[in-house]
Amino acid sequence: MIIRLSKKLSAKIKEPNLPSLPPASNPFLDWHAHLFTCNRAQYIMVTNSTSLFSVFMHGAGVTDYSDFISRLSDTLKEVLHGIGADLIFARVIAPGMREVRFAKSQDRRVIGSMNDSIFFAKDVLGSEEINPYDLSLRMKDYIHLSLEEAYPVRAFLGMKTDQDSQDKGLPG
């Protein structure tokens, strides 16, 4: 799995000098992550590079590689369960998280989309008492006009891998 970190997040988890990497061959295993603050609390947004499907988690207490990966794994498992994508987590993402490589954020389309989503998330976080899990599920209704599917959850669930053509049983 490749996780492309923003400069803020790479500094927070002490992962400097990140390489540039080409996209992962499996679209489920290529993500961008960014740290942001709202109401003096830190949050981390993690976005799938292809579908723009995003999850949010608390940033407090995440100080290194293992903290980040552990919280991300728990968050992805919980949110993917919430959207009915348990098989994607179990068959693709969980095994992919055994070997995580960090890289620079470099896709302007994804970074711009994340900035738009963070603006929306800050508005929701500032006006409601909402936890990161519920915010993640709320974002499924946030439209990205740059996507053919428009809704990131539909785009995420509709992604295909090379394994799909070999009938390995992923939904989509």
Q: For the chain, which ranges sit under pLDDT 50? A: 164-172
> How many domains, in total, are found in the chain?
1
CATH of the domain at 64: 3.30.420
* Domain assignment of residue 137, given as a range: 2-158
Q: Is residue 32 part of a domain?
A: yes
- Residue 162 confidence (pLDDT): 55
- Residue 165 confidence (pLDDT): 37
- Residue 100 confidence (pLDDT): 97
Which residues are CB-neighbours of 26 under 8 A, at least 6 positions away?
Answer: 92, 96, 161, 162, 163
